[in-house]
Structure 1
């Protein structure tokens, strides 16, 4: 490793690189000076440099961070004789005019340079002060506001030690004049931004004539450096302490322990500044003060500005030596990341004629493979936040489509009236011996049509997911050519739209196929016999339950009548009926009827078969009662012929339409007979059974059709389709038009990489 004296110039070079490129990722070792207003912070800097150049005044004077680089040069350094850029006579200072007039061309050995004015040297330090004030007002304004943008100043001098320091705005409590109301918060945030960095050495300036427990600089330093490992305490104004008091315990580290200790200094007084007392005289007076002071005499070798400068120089070099390997490792990491980012932007320059076709073909293949891999689940950029690609398609098939099918009720839109009307219409003018099959066909076909809506929605959802996959197949390399990416998406989108129509038609045809032929011989179909048996069984259970209920009610009623009879029997005798046994016979008759209902249960199944395969006596009785009731309402009786048929006489023709209208009105909401109830229930069960079979087949066939006609076809055809429509020489120039913003990002990335490499080369000089 080179000598330690070379370390600070190395960091200065790195600091220039960081400042020129706004490189915030590289944290460099630096001395950061903080303190309250009027604590002597600016005087400490001027004493270290040996020049009076910092702005002075009331309120906040330092309103931008000042990065000050002190560079030590020899008296005969060639840098002194390096001619600066020519300047006009109007820019020459009085000192330069006098030198030119006297013929003395020896350049001065002390000057300053600002990074925002490269190449211009300021030999007059009063001009440096004016430039600091002007640059501060240019960025931070004139209303006493502050700015985070630093001012970089280099001071070359044979008397200076190599140091890199940052002068920050002084801490304040109350806004004065036109200062912002939150000026205290702004300044604290700015200071914390610098001193919180691990590579920052904190110079906490505190006046000795104020109690140390009230030091704002030490309070802030303690927040970021609680153990005091990188904080140097600086006590100013030791000569202004009250008589009989001193800061010996503080300087000896007995009051507030700091690893780097406290250093006491004596700044120039306001009278010294007013009388233009030189800094050399001030430094000599400072040394005399410590040597002659009774309390500080033993510490005089560790006090004063010269000792402070040497200590800071040594502390900074040691800190740089400790942190430089970490900085080099950080640089290597940043270079690797930047090289990867630059590679993602593609090669520099315009693609040659020979490479255009291969480049376009390569980008097409990557796009097609990305589309296919996203569907198959092989993509490297799989989201962990939501389902996408093939997993989303699987979810549509099994969750969205499956649940929508299961939610369909096959008889929700069929009323009992609809079922009965279909049964009646399917029989025509003939009475039916059993439930007609045509009624079942008429009712089940519209219900199968209900499956078409969810099937259509399933196709649309899969199509939308494929379109989403298509739009997400871009990459950084492809984003370099926005027109090519747009064309690729358009071609794949057109392919998907072309396949949407055939897929939808095929799914519709699946529904129509199931509606075209109602296969009641399907092995899973419940069948009429099984459905009838279940209906009979349920009806029998209902009858048994009703009979039991009636028996229980009759028994309770009889018990209640006996209790009431016993209560009234002694006072009132029961009147006898005419025949004497009529009431008893009536009760016995009721009892026998209920017993007959119970006993008649096992024979109901045979009567059920007679009910569906022949005329039922109850139905005949009901028809006869209906005829008698209508005959009473209409006194006109139709004559009976010898063959049993009934004909209208000529007198009755005028009333025929009125009779039919009345019959229609009566049958608008007629009560269901027992036979009609059973028929409706049987039809309902047959519809539910057959609908379930068709629904199961549709749930299986629709995803297969979508995969075959839309998904798999798109996967197999996407690459050929892209090549056929875009791989043309006439389109190469248009497709390979590079995005300007991306080109700017690539240039920025390249510049950043060169900066990292320059910084690594600077560090390699000492490591």
Structure 2
């Protein structure tokens, strides 16, 4: 049985005849209890908290969510007083928005050392911070990163000033907010072992100087933290307000409707109206709005006590006396549901339990993310060498890779998610379907009527009329043929451009030159293909096909058998319409194949060959380094990926070491 359990058992059994005797017993055993609790934390709890603190210092929270306690509350809920009581130092106070940046508070109980603090945040500009006014007992510490600011100091009275100045730098002077994190690490023999993040208080009505949407800005910032399943939401609610209407608890319920990861702190119990004590007790006993982690009531220093400069240690004793002397709330002491001290122990235990539960999954997520980053870095390449010879060899390598891709594309191999020949065949099918549809509109019987009869005697044909009917109908195919050519050109250019972007993704000058080269080649090839199509339709004006082919199609149309031996006897006007249909069928079949062959030859095969030759001529350029100039965003991406790789590698090492110890 722990010392606290023993004390509670003695109290409930009547071992203490008065509150003063109970208090005396507490004082007598305070040092023993502290030693036992600290020893326990040092062995089984502190390592877990230190691990998460280390991971956050590494910056892994930029990549993955970490097990965290965040503190939220409406303005004037007593949030700052609770944090002040937990940390033992005065944090910024005042009216309106006091916490304007997320403040990570790392509390470390270190016996036998003098009070010490380290404030860290990423500044907006280079150089050291310049605080307005003199700050004693502080020193600036240079950091390996160009934008990190670190301030060490040994005077607790400077905390408020340092935090306020950091907020001014990050969020601007005034009432603005920022999502940049400020970390305050406090090492002292008089604090609990705990890490939590304080967030701005929720406001409804903007004050002078605040933007109209300040309430929405704060809620977005809070939501960014509390929505994560790795976060324990610590909601601060005053006892003298309707708990169901507090905005902070509403937000916590929205992201955690079952109340699994929400703990509520009830503050200002001395301000409640008489007669409402039982209602408050019902809340603490979890019968009004049930929360899995429950409720704890605390009484922190009021404004009068702050003005009277009552020390936090004395305020803690006054808090205990308040509960001990309150007929309604005395029971909460025995249930460990009251005082800042009970809150600190519960928070520490809840956080460590949460870390233990989350650690295996976090380890797996880090390993998975590490693999993905390594793969992304590989795709990002390392960039060209600085020396001319190395740069030229690098250029040869990527140009050869480009030509291999172009060759594969033109030969029908799959080089991207969109198969080129699947797209081409779809267009060719549309062309074939269109040709077949024109056969329905080809009705030559009207044009072969008596009114179109020539000078021939009955029984003879007007072959010139026969030719003209066919020529007119075939001529209508020329414009759709050119439409097909342009559609194919656009598809091929898009696929070529995709290969350019993939092979030269980091080199914008090389991309632009190659894309211009492709466009120029395609324009020339387009002109050649258009000329070839025009020639094709000119040739179609000369009505011709092999006799066996014509007779075969005519036989299929009429269901009669014709052969070359019957030529003198089947030349009858009644068969003219069938003969026209038969020949047009041959034109359709011929054009359905000829146009796709012609277009792919000029626009794909020849283009690929010319492009492969022209692109290698880039090696003759005098300034190879200019060709290999990288986009600034590529360099930035590579830098970010490398930084992420370093974070993840360090984090994986820390967790692996922790799990094997």
2:366 corresponds in structure 1 to: 331
Report the Cα distance in structure 2 between the residues aligned to 1:503 and 1:129, rounded to whole angstroms: 78
Instruction: Specify whether residues 356 and 350 from structure 1 end up closer, same or farther in structure 2 by C-alpha distance, changes over 3 A only.
Output: closer
Report the Cα distance in structure 2 between the residues aligned to 1:236 and 1:407, rounded to whole angstroms: 85
Q: Give the superposition deviation at 1:473.
A: 0.9
2:18 corresponds in structure 1 to: none
Instruction: Specify whether residues 731 and 457 from structure 1 end up closer, same or farther in structure 2 by C-alpha distance, changes over 3 A only.
Output: farther
Instruction: Specify whether residues 346 and 297 from structure 1 end up closer, same or farther in structure 2 by C-alpha distance, changes over 3 A only.
Output: same
Report the Cα distance in structure 2 between the residues aligned to 1:194 and 1:372, rounded to whole angstroms: 51
Q: Give the superposition deviation at 1:761.
A: 3.1
- Which protein, 1 or 2, shows the higher relative CO under an 8 Å CA cutoff with sep ≥ 6? 1
1:651 corresponds in structure 2 to: none
Is the contact between residue 106 and residue 186 of structure 2 (CA under 8 Å) also seen in structure 1? yes
1:699-710 alignment runs, 5 A limit: 699-710=592-603
Q: Deviations over 1:353-390 (max 9, x none)?
A: 5544543333223323333444555335314xxxx611
2:632 corresponds in structure 1 to: 740
TM-score, normalised to structure 1's length? Answer: 0.67
Q: Give the superposition deviation at 1:201.
A: 1.4
Is the contact between residue 484 and residue 735 of structure 1 (CA under 8 Å) also seen in structure 2? yes
Pair 1:392-2:423 in alignment: yes
Report the Cα distance in structure 2 between the residues aligned to 1:349 and 1:228, rounded to whole angstroms: 55
1:43 corresponds in structure 2 to: 81
Report the Cα distance in structure 2 between the residues aligned to 1:760 and 1:527, rounded to whole angstroms: 75
Q: Which of 169, 178, 195 is matched with 1:164 structurally?
A: 195
Q: Which of 310, 326, 333 is matched with 1:277 structurally?
A: 310
Instruction: Specify whether residues 360 and 763 from structure 1 end up closer, same or farther in structure 2 by C-alpha distance, changes over 3 A only.
Output: same
Pair 1:342-2:377 in alignment: yes
1:672 corresponds in structure 2 to: none
1:260 corresponds in structure 2 to: 293
2:646 corresponds in structure 1 to: 754
Report the Cα distance in structure 2 between the residues aligned to 1:89 and 1:467, rounded to whole angstroms: 59
Report the Cα distance in structure 2 between the residues aligned to 1:228 and 1:89, rounded to whole angstroms: 42
Report the Cα distance in structure 2 between the residues aligned to 1:527 and 1:50, rounded to whole angstroms: 101
1:463 corresponds in structure 2 to: 489
SS in 2 for 1:524: helix
2:93 corresponds in structure 1 to: 55
1:154 corresponds in structure 2 to: 185
1:559 corresponds in structure 2 to: none
Instruction: Specify whether residues 529 and 154 from structure 1 end up closer, same or farther in structure 2 by C-alpha distance, changes over 3 A only.
Output: closer
1:293 corresponds in structure 2 to: 326
Is the contact between residue 116 and residue 188 of structure 2 (CA under 8 Å) also seen in structure 1? no
2:123 corresponds in structure 1 to: none
SS in 2 for 1:121: strand
Gapped runs of 5+ residues in structure 2? 1-41, 119-126, 140-145, 561-569
Q: Deviations over 1:399-426 (max 9, x none)?
A: 13541563367768998599957824xx
Instruction: Specify whether residues 438 and 14 from structure 1 end up closer, same or farther in structure 2 by C-alpha distance, changes over 3 A only.
Output: closer
Report the Cα distance in structure 2 between the residues aligned to 1:220 and 1:530, rounded to whole angstroms: 79
Q: RMSD over aligned Cα, in angstroms?
A: 4.2
1:596 corresponds in structure 2 to: none
Is the contact between residue 481 and residue 735 of structure 1 (CA under 8 Å) also seen in structure 2? yes
Is the contact between residue 451 and residue 695 of structure 1 (CA under 8 Å) also seen in structure 2? no
SS in 2 for 1:334: helix
Is the contact between residue 53 and residue 129 of structure 1 (CA under 8 Å) also seen in structure 2? yes
Pair 1:361-2:402 in alignment: no
2:106 corresponds in structure 1 to: 69
Q: Deviations over 1:255-296 (max 9, x none)?
A: 444333322211112211121111111111112223333334
Q: Give the superposition deviation at 1:236.
A: 1.6
TM-score, normalised to structure 2's length? Answer: 0.77
Report the Cα distance in structure 2 between the residues aligned to 1:10 and 1:417, rounded to whole angstroms: 95
Is the contact between residue 324 and residue 333 of structure 2 (CA under 8 Å) also seen in structure 1? yes
Instruction: Specify whether residues 699 and 228 from structure 1 end up closer, same or farther in structure 2 by C-alpha distance, changes over 3 A only.
Output: closer
1:199-278 alignment runs, 5 A limit: 199-243=230-274, 245=277, 247-278=280-311
Instruction: Specify whether residues 466 and 35 from structure 1 end up closer, same or farther in structure 2 by C-alpha distance, changes over 3 A only.
Output: closer
Q: Which of 542, 555, 570 is matched with 1:516 structurally?
A: 542
Is the contact between residue 104 and residue 183 of structure 2 (CA under 8 Å) also seen in structure 1? yes
Q: Give the superposition deviation at 1:197.
A: 1.3
Is the contact between residue 114 and residue 188 of structure 2 (CA under 8 Å) also seen in structure 1? no
2:228 corresponds in structure 1 to: 197
Instruction: Specify whether residues 502 and 211 from structure 1 end up closer, same or farther in structure 2 by C-alpha distance, changes over 3 A only.
Output: closer
2:591 corresponds in structure 1 to: 698
Q: Which of 324, 342, 350 is matched with 1:315 structurally?
A: 350
1:112 corresponds in structure 2 to: none
Pair 1:370-2:405 in alignment: yes
Which stretch has the larger CA shift, 261-270 or 236-245? 236-245
2:479 corresponds in structure 1 to: 453
Is the contact between residue 100 and residue 167 of structure 2 (CA under 8 Å) also seen in structure 1? yes
Instruction: Specify whether residues 419 and 703 from structure 1 end up closer, same or farther in structure 2 by C-alpha distance, changes over 3 A only.
Output: farther
SS in 1 for 2:541: helix
Q: Deviations over 1:53-101 (max 9, x none)?
A: 32222x33333332222233343489899xxx9999996557x5xxxxx
Q: Which has the larger radius of gyration?
A: 1
Report the Cα distance in structure 2 between the residues aligned to 1:395 and 1:733, rounded to whole angstroms: 42
SS in 2 for 1:393: helix
Q: Deviations over 1:21-57 (max 9, x none)?
A: 8x53321122211222222111111111112232222
Q: Deviations over 1:113-149 (max 9, x none)?
A: xx98734234444543234334445554566454433
Which stretch has the larger CA shift, 445-454 or 391-400? 445-454
Is the contact between residue 532 and residue 682 of structure 1 (CA under 8 Å) also seen in structure 2? no
Report the Cα distance in structure 1 between the residues aligned to 2:557 and 2:638, rounded to whole angstroms: 76
SS in 2 for 1:295: coil
Q: Deviations over 1:222-271 (max 9, x none)?
A: 22223333222212222333446354444444544433332221111221
Tell me how many residue pairs correspond in the alignment.
591
Q: Give the superposition deviation at 1:766.
A: 2.1
Instruction: Specify whether residues 413 and 91 from structure 1 end up closer, same or farther in structure 2 by C-alpha distance, changes over 3 A only.
Output: farther
Report the Cα distance in structure 2 between the residues aligned to 1:378 and 1:693, rounded to whole angstroms: 32
Instruction: Specify whether residues 3 and 350 from structure 1 end up closer, same or farther in structure 2 by C-alpha distance, changes over 3 A only.
Output: farther
Report the Cα distance in structure 1 between the residues aligned to 2:155 and 2:370, rounded to whole angstroms: 41
1:100 corresponds in structure 2 to: none
Report the Cα distance in structure 1 between the residues aligned to 2:554 and 2:184, rounded to whole angstroms: 101
Is the contact between residue 492 and residue 722 of structure 1 (CA under 8 Å) also seen in structure 2? no
1:633 corresponds in structure 2 to: none
Report the Cα distance in structure 2 between the residues aligned to 1:686 and 1:414, rounded to whole angstroms: 11
Report the Cα distance in structure 2 between the residues aligned to 1:440 and 1:12, rounded to whole angstroms: 92
Report the Cα distance in structure 2 between the residues aligned to 1:290 and 1:522, rounded to whole angstroms: 113
SS in 1 for 2:186: strand
Is the contact between residue 117 and residue 152 of structure 2 (CA under 8 Å) also seen in structure 1? no
